[in-house]
Chains A and B, each alone.
Chain A
């Protein structure tokens, strides 16, 4: 990939919104990779947590939005609990999801869910899932 860096993007409004919404400061991350090392789903992510954060640091929000990472993050907080700089990738992914959901784009349609699931699955899974994936 080739990217051009601009101050306007690095300090752009999307970045500021993500920081506000997540309560995280992107510059604090020093890219040690611990989050990606411990994240149980990073193996499936287009951009593992640390790399997603890296693109945000560079001001490249779209790269991260394009990736599946935020929809895979389960909020287990393993990343945060082991981050030496107390950065929570979970919070950042939440912020990105919110950004996306607030634009009214659902990640999961209820009617796509199998009936068997709705019958058997614990309520909490359904409630939680809807909160995370649906606007």
Chain B
């Protein structure tokens, strides 16, 4: 099985571990993530004004490129997923928009390519049972909090890899890998996103709330699917530690990193070294 794959700009740069661990895991599970021959940045934000067609052109180009490779395209980053999926829907449902946008990018595209997140690939195409069978190093009951944030889930009806108020897809994967998933109230709250650029105080507060909420529920590691979440959560730990006596930093990792380790990848391959707080001691302590 081969699946066209759109990495997006961030996975090509600061989030390499996310990318590599996923590709390697796919290989271990018997399928190939085939990077799009030609791609550009998706724009990292879906244009919220229906009259802003400019914002649709970049993702439309990505989709058109994917269409040349297969009937579906997968991504890892939550933001890419959100932007591609929404753009795709806009192009599919609105003929007028479609003709303007495709005219502008001078490529044919009808919206028929399916945008699926890597988690969906694992659940729906590979099957979590297959994943379970392939696990070589069960993760020793490590208590992992799956953090979804906004982009995987909202707006419901347009995106949504799972129920938008109570998703469990990531937890389901984590328990297959031998983790003990930790449910926590803030798992679908925003991390502060691009306010990292303007209002670090807000980001620190929102991401801090996520961290505290996870830790209070017993999390030993927080698992994400988005480089921006990852960045904000890691960056905000210092502030949490400042305002909360006895706070111990929790490692924040991509779900693919844990997947890779469980499937037997080396620490380097899984990019564990890229994380600001190392998850390795924790794994060792659990006998992984």
Known: A20-B51, A120-B231. A76 touches B190 (CB 8 A): yes
A-side residues, CB < 8 A to B, are 20-23, 40-41, 44, 71-72, 74-78, 80-81, 88, 90-91, 93-95, 98, 107-108, 113, 117, 120-129, 131-133
Chain B residues near A95: list those with CB within 8 A.
48-49
The one of A76, A88, A128 that contacts B150, using a Cβ cutoff of 8 Å: A76
Task: Give 6 A-B pairs besides A78-B150, A81-B153, A93-B48 with Cβ atoms closer than 8 angstroms.
Answer: A21-B51, A76-B154, A121-B231, A123-B14, A125-B194, A128-B228
Chain B residues near A75: list those with CB within 8 A.
45, 48, 150, 193
Q: List 10 A-B contacts (CB under 8 A).
A: A22-B50, A41-B190, A77-B150, A125-B197, A126-B197, A128-B79, A129-B196, A131-B44, A131-B45, A132-B194
Q: Is the CB of A23 within 8 A of B49?
A: yes
Q: Is the CB of A91 within 8 A of B48?
A: yes
Distance from A30 Cβ to chain B, minimum over Cβ atoms (Å): 20
Chain A CB within 8 A of B182 CB: no
Chain A CB within 8 A of B202 CB: yes
Q: Is the CB of B41 within 8 A of A127?
A: yes
- In the bound complex, how far is the Cα of B205 from the Cα of A44, in angstroms? 11
Chain B residues near A41: list those with CB within 8 A.
190, 195, 202, 206
Distance from B280 Cβ to chain A, minimum over Cβ atoms (Å): 22
Known: A122-B15, A129-B194. A91 touches B45 (CB 8 A): no
Known: A41-B206, A74-B194. A125 touches B9 (CB 8 A): no
Chain A CB within 8 A of B199 CB: yes
- In the bound complex, how far is the Cα of B43 from the Cα of A129, in angstroms? 10
Chain A CB within 8 A of B189 CB: yes
Chain A CB within 8 A of B52 CB: yes
Q: Is the CB of B48 within 8 A of A129?
A: no
Chain A residues near B102: list those with CB within 8 A.
none
Closest to B158 in A: A77
Q: Is the CB of B196 within 8 A of A121?
A: yes
Distance from B244 Cβ to chain A, minimum over Cβ atoms (Å): 19
Closest to B45 in A: A128
- In the bound complex, how far is the Cα of B54 from the Cα of A98, in angstroms? 12
Chain A CB within 8 A of B111 CB: no
